[in-house]
Amino acid sequence: MNLLESFRVALRALAANKARSFLTMLGVIIGVAAVILLVSIGSGVQASITSQIEGLGSNLLFVFPGQLEGAGGPGGGGGLTKRFALEDVRLLRDRLQGVSFVAPAASGAATVRFENKTTKAQIVASDENLSQVGTYKLARGRWYRRSEVDGSARVVQLGSAVAEKLFPFTDPIGKEVTVNGQRFKVIATMQKIGGGFGGSQDTIVYMPVTTAQRLSGSSDLAEIIVKVTRAEDVDQVRAQIKRLLKPKFGDEFTVFSQEQTLSLLGNLLGTLTVMLAGIAGISLLVGGIGIMNIMLVSVTERTREIGIRKAVGARTYDILSQFIIAAVMLSVAGGLLGILIGAGGAAALKSVVPTEVTWWSVALAFFFAAAVGVFFGAYPAYRASRLDPIVALRYE
């Protein structure tokens, strides 16, 4: 019997039990769709964050306190002895050559209140140069000015989520809110950034660094942002920073470039994407077990038919190929439907989460599905092919 005949026999058998074939396929459909959808979300988020960071401009340097080993990432400095203070910003600002600006950055938690509504927010505090960083865009109003930084003015810019929460119907600009119990004047609202991790970018409130220091009672800074005027000077400026900070901090600080941040985040998000794919892969495996289950049932049901086929001349190979092809047909058809649903779902979700269907996830899911069919179809097919025709013919 040639392969074409095996296909026809397998197809006829699947068509005879349409509902069952579809339900068996459903396991693979869901598995493949999940792989494609989750990977597309992972890569979409990765791409969107990467482009956000790239939007900052390629010649930013971030100086963190603490020594960061290779790709250990910022925030790993548990036992820091020395933090940056505003005087270190001033030192760099005065001494660095070839830079556009040096800006401090501090952060903290805040409870923001307007009338009887409150919301949690993160504080990002800097000076007027933050407006040049690029990711933070105003929706309405104005950035805080240099004079307000110098005077520790109680002015605040609200992230879009904070603004929506506290001012659902009214214009917040010019209103007074309280941040951690202190009165602040709202001078601006920010554009929606969306996406990212936990959507936290929209729950930020922005204020002058001096104001934040007073609010928290601490003069510590989280990082110092340095913008190099010309991209080719980045390495040279990095060396300058190291030299300038060494007397005070020794090696207890790290200069991070845009590129490093990107590769770090890339690693992190890549790992996350692979994890998502792995989880989805498990459901594909479960789908495969479903195929095996139904193929075993089908072998039992069709024992007599196998006996007849063997009596009239079917060889082991003929029976084997008939059942394997049926299993592969189920998994491949399920794989194709899963790709359609996964890609369709990714397109539909695009308005909510950034998604990006990657060719490798499609290829991986499809071939994995086909392999699942071969693997889980093999055992039932083997059992069928080994049936003794005498026993099979007597089977009721």
| Residue nearer to another protein on the CB measure, 290 or 307 | 307
Residue 313 CB, nearest distance to another protein (Å)?
A: 2
Residue 99's contacts (CB-CB under 8 Å, 6 or more residues apart) are 92, 226, 227, 228, 229, 237
Q: Of the two residues 265 and 393, which places its CB atom closer to another protein in the complex? A: 393
Which CB, 238 or 304, lies closer to another protein?
304
Cα three-residue angle 112-137-127, rounded to 5 degrees: 70
Q: Cα separations (Å) of 254 from 18, 70, 222, 264?
A: 63, 10, 12, 14
**What residue has token string 């959808």?**
37
Question: Which of 1, 85, 96, 353 is in the footprint of another protein by CB under 8 A?
Answer: 1
Burial of 391 (0-12, 13-18, 19+ CB in 10 A): exposed
User: CA–CA separation, 354 vs 47, rounded Å?
Assistant: 8
- Alpha-carbon torsion 309, 315, 318, 321, what sign? positive
Which string of x and - marks every residue 290-319 that binds another protein (by CB under 8 A)? Answer: --------------xx-xxxxxxxxxxxx-
Shortest Cβ 358–another protein spacing (Å): 43
What does the longest C-alpha to C-alpha distance in the chain come to?
98
Query: Nearer to another protein by C-beta: 130 or 306?
Result: 306
Select 1 or 371, whichever has its Cβ closest to another protein: 1
**DSSP characters for 222-262?**
SEEEEEESSGGGHHHHHHHHHHHHHHHHTT-EEEEEHHHHH
Instruction: State the minimum distance, in angstroms, from the CB of residue 273 to another protein.
Output: 47
Kindly state the smallest distance separating residue 11's Cβ from another protein, in Å.
13
DSSP letter for 75, please: T
**Binding segment toward another protein, per CB under 8 A, in 137-145, 171-179, 249-257, 385-393:** 385-393
Shortest spacing between CB 365 and another protein, in angstroms: 34
For residues 129 to 168, the per-residue mask of contacts with another protein, x marking binding by CB under 8 A and - elsewhere, is ----------------------------------------
Residue 379: CB minimum distance to another protein, A: 19
Q: Which of residues 185-224 bind another protein (CB under 8 A)?
A: none
> Measured from the CB atom, is 145 or 304 closer to another protein?
304
Q: Does 239 bind another protein (CB under 8 A)?
A: no
**Alpha carbons 192 and 177: distance in angstroms, whole number:** 20
Under rule CB under 8 A, how many of the chain's residues touch another protein? 21
How many Cα atoms within 13 Å fall on the side-chain side of residue 154?
13
Tell me the C-alpha distance between 258 and 227, whole Å.
11
Tell me the two tokens of residue 48: 């969107």
Site for another protein in 317-356 (CB under 8 A): 317-318
Contacts with another protein by CB under 8 A lie at 1-2, 5, 16, 304-305, 307-318, 389-390, 393
